[in-house]
Chains A and B, each alone.
Chain A
């Protein structure tokens, strides 16, 4: 009997702790959702219970967001930036990752670590010279500046990820293709790329989410509303003077968060094995 009580107690405290963690991580997103669906009179009344609807829920904030703000425009900007950065990243990082993986000896290892370390060079160190370079290229205040700059962190990161994947692929596969008459380049195109499609897909998804998450370069280079990507637009452009449009801001934040959250969860395991690949053998 005492054992049953002790067991129950353990179970209850275990699930209680799990519940606490979930509330801690998910509450701000629940808060976005509930705020975005509340009417203003409900939102700005301190005596109302904030956790649930006191007035009936409304889609007024979403309507305002889509009709009266540049939200749809920002969505497009982010999509275009994302697609272009993904294209540049894949073209540069797939061969680089392959080359690093097949390079033998110390040189390959050193180059790999070197490329990876550039991923750690922070935007807040580079934004001043980069904004000058961007201006010299005539890209100031344009979203194309982000297309130019974002690959500086996506290429190193993705080369590193892909290097790990290609290392796990036995070189005998390409050697067999070469023996059968393929050139070295042909073996890469016909054998290595098709076999690593899942890895390339991971890289595509992660590059895209990285472009959505980026904030510092966007903040530095872009000031006109029509050129902003979605993260910057929602975070800085829905404030009029001192007045925050909380309903609209939360609606926009929610809509921009959902796709990233889903993509991240689907590819999380590959991502983790990629970044920690160098540390665990």
Chain B
């Protein structure tokens, strides 16, 4: 008799015991990750905020509180205002270009054809390869003397050697170059995101729309696009956040020049805070990214929640 009763009683009590411990074990499992993030993201973040309202430089590491004086000085500096404008132009220009190319590329890759796997592998390269290395290749392609772009245009008879542009030496062209390189880097990611979205749309919805008489454009922009908007929004968060705060492309391709024409927030923060050692002003410049980051993330999160497909 006892042997029959016991197996029933034992799991019940053990299950209760386990339920008690589940909370403990769950917190224990989370602790290392959360501690790491708190100590090396949370704490530095607070430190950055404090730097921006102090007079801290590497030559005078005092923690004297100066209020918003750093911000005032920065905002009055015309170079900073140019930097701010450049950052927006750089971010939205390259994201727009990237999204357009991405949508178009996704449409192409949707159709099965021989060698599609290989084509996809080649198209993903700009996103996969470390951007610093790819940027160096672009720098070489835009070289003032040996530019392959210019060589091709001369060979095609579009321009003569005398009027060959100095891509990275002209303020407007330099801006165009950093935008193009960044769009080049992001559009493969956009393609992959669009593809993941489109393939997740149930085929019967598309079939139903086709039966109801929706043509190619209608299917694409009134059926599929609204359905994949949440996934595209997530992709766009990544794109905007990483571009808005980027430093490597500008640092390697133009070094902010010519005459600050391509300077962006991340780069300026680096120049002032690290290179010149004026930590407090550098931190204040970097903090100008924060409102945009908050806005983008909150808007997108809300947007994703509302869609609920």
Which A residues form the contact surface with B (CB < 8 A)?
A: 14-15, 17-18, 21-22, 24-26, 28-29, 31-32, 35, 43-44, 46, 50-51, 91-93, 95-96, 98-100, 102-103, 111, 113, 115, 117-118, 120-133, 148-149, 151-152, 155-156, 159, 178-179, 183-185, 209, 212-213, 215-216, 219-220, 231-232, 234-236, 244, 246, 249-250, 253, 256-257, 260-261, 264-265, 268, 272-273, 275-276, 278-281
The contact size tier of chain B is 35 or more
Q: Is the CB of B40 within 8 A of A124?
A: no
| Shortest CB distance A163–B (Å) | 11
B30: contacting residue among A111, A125, A265, CB under 8 A? A111
| A31, A128, A178, A276 — most chain B CB neighbours (10 Å) | A128
Interface string of B118-146 (1 = CB under 8 A from A): 01111111111111111111101101011
Q: Is the CB of B289 within 8 A of A253?
A: no
Q: Is the CB of B108 within 8 A of A99?
A: no
Which B residues form the contact surface with A (CB < 8 A)?
A: 11, 14-15, 18, 21-22, 25-30, 32-34, 36-37, 40-41, 43-45, 47-48, 51, 104-105, 108, 111, 113, 119-138, 140-141, 143, 145-146, 148, 151, 161, 184, 188, 192-193, 196-197, 200, 230-231, 233-235, 237-238, 241-242, 244-248, 251-252, 265-266, 269-270, 273-274, 279, 282-283, 286-287, 289-290, 293, 297, 301, 304, 309
Contacting residues, chain A, for B132 (C-beta < 8 A)? 215, 231-232, 234-235
Q: Is the CB of A128 within 8 A of B234?
A: no
A260: contacting residue among B108, B113, B128, B266, CB under 8 A? B128
Contacting residues, chain B, for A278 (C-beta < 8 A)? 234, 304
A213 to B126, CA, bound (A): 12
Q: A111-B30, A128-B282, A129-B48 are in contact. List 4 more A-B contacts (CB 8 A).
A: A25-B122, A95-B29, A235-B136, A265-B128
Contacting residues, chain B, for A232 (C-beta < 8 A)? 132
B279: contacting residue among A28, A128, A156, A272, CB under 8 A? A128
Q: Is the CB of B108 within 8 A of A280?
A: no
In the complex with contacts A25-B122, A126-B45, A279-B234 CB distance below 8 A: yes
Contacting residues, chain B, for A50 (C-beta < 8 A)? 146, 148, 151
| Shortest CB distance A10–B (Å) | 11
A50 to B143, CA, bound (A): 13
In the complex with contacts A100-B30, A117-B297, A260-B128, A152-B36 CB distance below 8 A: yes
Q: Is the CB of A268 within 8 A of B122?
A: no
Contacting residues, chain A, for B21 (C-beta < 8 A)? 184
Contacting residues, chain A, for B47 (C-beta < 8 A)? 129, 132-133
| Shortest CB distance A164–B (Å) | 13
Contacting residues, chain A, for B231 (C-beta < 8 A)? 276, 279-280
Q: Is the CB of A46 within 8 A of B145?
A: yes
A17 to B131, CA, bound (A): 25
| Shortest CB distance B254–A (Å) | 14
A235 to B129, CA, bound (A): 13
Q: Is the CB of B286 within 8 A of A25?
A: no
